[in-house]
Chains A and B, each alone.
Chain A
Amino acid sequence: MSAETLIRVDNVGKKFCRDLKTGLWYGVRDLVSEFTGSANSGKQHLRPKEFWAVDDISFELKRGECLGLIGRNGAGKSTLLKMLNGLIKPDKGRIEMNGRIGALIELGAGFNPILTGRENIYNNGSVLGLKKKEIDGLLEEIIDFSEIGSFIDTPVQFYSSGMKVRLGFSVAVHMKPDVLILDEVLAVGDSGFKMKSFNKINEIMREAAVIFVSHSMPHIATITNQVLLMEAGKSAFQGDDVALGIDKYFSHFSGTDPKIEFNGLAQIKHFAIIPSHRYAQEKEEHPLIDYREDIEVDIHLSIDRSVADFHIKLQITDKDLKIVGIYDSFQFQEAVSNDREEHKLRITLPQSIFIDGEYAVSVFIQNRNVETKRMNILGLYRYWQKFKMRASKGLGVVPAVVYLPGTISNHSLAEISETPTKTLKTL
């Protein structure tokens, strides 16, 4: 029971047309060939202005597995899902779906806006092939989970987007699907509901095959056990090394290209991050830092004469463009006085505890206005230098920003007699 293959996708492709009018005309021609049954001859070829929105995708999914489908906007993820759900036909290849399919393709979709929440539950249920009695039995549970409460008898058109998602998700997961397709549905909904949803997905996964589309990599990392990275319709990465897939996904972004945002009063002449000793010989594009080694930064600056002194702030962002750490010299020392043509500085950030991955450092050179107590930016070099963290001891990818160091000490029995009193006091 646990190992049966529920989804089998073989070399599936789908064409789309760039031009609306041409697309409509192709639609008419497709209709004709569909009716005459002579469809196949031309289907494999692209007609003018067409492109493959999904190209040659294959995978299999068994009960108990969760596939994370990732890729940039327009990579073909939703098109693939629509084919899996039988809404549109593939232009090549073959899709086999087994069992009951629960799909949440788009926010609030599947609901008839003029029907009430309760009526929509029955509609969705009957569409999925459930008898009225079965739905009666699930109704309470669905309403409870969705936290809709007394709004269940209000037409869905008056629901907030969060309520629609909650109800849609609740219906989809309670219908006991064999295959569950979730497209970017947890983006809305408050964090409490998100948590609840993840737990529910984990619960369902034991008895179903789940396809999960999300742009939130922490979500992907938490619940999927294999990923398919799509890029312009094609599979760019596929496998059960979720961390590697996520890494590949991020490497497609050019959003972290170095950029000088402002350098009117301060210019960086030289900037380098010193790789850890252990990795010094490795030919990597970016310097490699070992977990719990110091990050050492060499920075050569020239500052405009009108500025008396300055501070340096380093802002470290991960691939999600999330700021994961900030160093600001203002916190630790007096301003560096601007007493020379070129400053040759070294900044040491001791014992970096970032998890494995690629990071970018943005450099802020600023000086503090004593009267207003505000920082004036003299120079801002965005994503100026990248570096990579790599734990030589192999901590693995964890869903965290930092990997906290710590110690365990083993108290002897004699010492324990003292500690309880301490604990009690702090309580």
Chain B
Amino acid sequence: MIGALVLRALDRGAIAFLATLAAIAVLVPVLNLALPPTSPFHLSSYFVALFGKYVCLALLALSVDLIWGYCGILSLGHGAFFALGGYAMGMYLMRQIGTRGVYAHPVLPDFMVFLNWPELPVYWYGFQHFAYAAFMVVFVPGVLAFVFGWFAFRSRVTGVYLSIITQALTFALMLGFFRNNFGFGGNNGLTDFKDILGFNVQAPSTRAALFVSSMLALMLGFIICRVVVSSKFGKVLVAIRDAEARTRFLGYRVEAYKLFVFTLSACMAGVAGALYVPQVGIINPSEFSPGNSIEAVIWVAVGGRGTLTGAVLGAVLVNYGKTYFTSGVLAPYWLFVLGGLFVAVTLLLPRGIVGTIHYHWREWRERRRLAAPVPNAAPRPAE
């Protein structure tokens, strides 16, 4: 049954996109590991980690696009779910350090020894097991999103109000995680990781494996999103996006739909964060900063809101631009570029790159069909 659902969800474009992703997922590790460093096609481990980072951010963009592009919920706090997933993974990685830390304490992470914590806080229990940590990666953001969404959607907080409240949520979490007595390492966050599942985090093969896992997560996320948006459920989401009141009057439980898709999206963001942390080697409270969450929204806007491929493309493009700008002499101008991107995309390219291509493609096809003598041309679907 699920198979049928998935098959129906994947049209030709989606399959082509997935195939491309799969090709990259194979090609990058091969170019990195199988080729000697002297070969012109060799890809250094730095790039593998960098691309791995982009892939995680693309998954975050996908989760933002699912709620913003298809349900009209503009969350300016999705970075919070991303960071929570990251912290859950960071806690697992911290517990793996064991006695190799600076203070060589068998149980307590370094920062706790440093701050004179007598014992491990209860909420750190169980994080030495990967399965538990992996569960928490999905569970914590999911529960937070469920509780928050339940409160927000039930009282019909919508539009900019919701955006502001989500921004306040991530801001509050940032303030909290900056505190030392929260037990998450204060403003230094969690870092200095050694092993993941017994493999050295720094080793090229581990990095390649992390890259492949991120790719698989992205593909899985893409398929899930495709299934959601191409089902009847997804049509209701679009209806909510375009006319919430009408959908409610038609008898749909708008709150339930929103709550489900918001929670799903938060879980995806959590997974993205969990895969991100071992590849960048650190998680700290600045991941919660409202600016990060808004940036994730602009990736989606650049690629094309309401097109899943656009979200992925936008995240990779903007982040590549960020790396390009901030690593050279152009660094002071990056914020101008980013700010300009916000303005230019909303003003000049409201459909985003992929959305615009889709639009023109569809128009071109329409015109061709109109030129041919076909009666009863199908009406153009509403945006």
Tell whether A pairs with B.
Answer: no
